[in-house]
Structure 1
Amino acid sequence: MTDKQKPEPYDFTAQVGHLLRRAYQRHTTVFQQHIPDSHLTAIQFVVLCALRDHGGSSIAEIVRTTVIDQATIRGVIERLRARELVAVEHDREDRRKVVVQLTASGARMVEEMVPFGHLISERTFGCLNPAERLALLFLLQKMIAGDDAG
């Protein structure tokens, strides 16, 4: 290989995956700093919101809605159940199927945390102006829309 054919150097810090991971780490830090319930994680909040939006759901439905893997979801649901924020019951028609739903405490928790969710999103955007925020959301949605095509 001649000098002219040398591959471009690979700087992992400039790669999309690394930058997305760093952005997510930043978001997680912001979440932990601003959510008043120190025992509530970002993933648990997503699951609670999904149950609020879709009602009682099977594990498979929660996985599809949240795009969180099944092994992780099971642990999240178990922790939410231990805090009595969700109830887990067998489906009346198919006893093999488990249905997860918000308890009254879980519904109150979501309602109380949503304003903080908005604040966390605002802080995650940081110094981005309105056009940059819109562009970022558009590009991220376009990027993940490719998942549906394949």
Structure 2
Amino acid sequence: MSNKTPNATAAPDTAPYDVTEQVGHLLRKAYQRHTAIFQQQACDPQLTSIQFVTLCALRDHGPSSQAELIKATAVDQATIRGIVDRLKARGLIQLSPDPGDRRKVICELTDSGAALLDAMIPCARQISELSMGCLNAAERVAILFLLRKMIDGDEGVAG
């Protein structure tokens, strides 16, 4: 039995449904805006935001399998495979077999990848600043808190 059953005594919502005012639509629009800002402000125009997150995960967690990258980045398996291929082709990461399990491939940041990350950090800070736009300091704290709360509330939800 799910505990998500609507309250039986609550009145039905009869207001017109406006998709443009729904949380999913607004989150998608905010993400699209952030992605556009990332592409305009990134100091490497070939680097996507997902590739940047992947490089940061390798910097933060060290050499990682693709399964570990999926967990660290919240990127699906098919997408991470393409990201790894593109980063490898650019010489930003290197791949090697896992010494403990030859079927696994370990991804590791190269010196070029680390140098790109170092160059990108000031750009990334500016991207975050621009993404927050006209929000004041309290609103910035609040939105980050609320987004984390939404994400943390997904414990046990498939996805």
Give the shorter-chain TM-score range: over 0.9
Structure 2 partner of 1:56: 63
| Runs of 4+ displaced beyond 4 Å | none
Structure 2 partner of 1:71: 78
Uncovered stretches (5+) of structure 2, i.e. residues with no partner:
1-11
Aligned pair count?
146
Uncovered stretches (5+) of structure 1, i.e. residues with no partner:
none
Matches within 5 A, 1:109-128: 109-128=116-135
Identity %: 58
**Separation of aligned partners in 2, 1:117 and 1:8:** 41
**Separation of aligned partners in 2, 1:84 and 1:147:** 36
**Separation of aligned partners in 2, 1:22 and 1:137:** 16
2:17 to 10, 19, 29: 10
Q: What's the TM-score, normalizing by structure 1?
A: 0.94
Offset, 1:7:
3.0
Offset, 1:6:
8.0
Offset, 1:144:
0.2
1:81-120, Cα deviation, whole Å (9 max, x unpaired) = 0000000111011101110000010011111101100000
Name the one with the larger helix percent.
Answer: 1
1:22 to 29, 43, 48: 29
Aligned-residue Cα RMSD (Å) equals 1.2
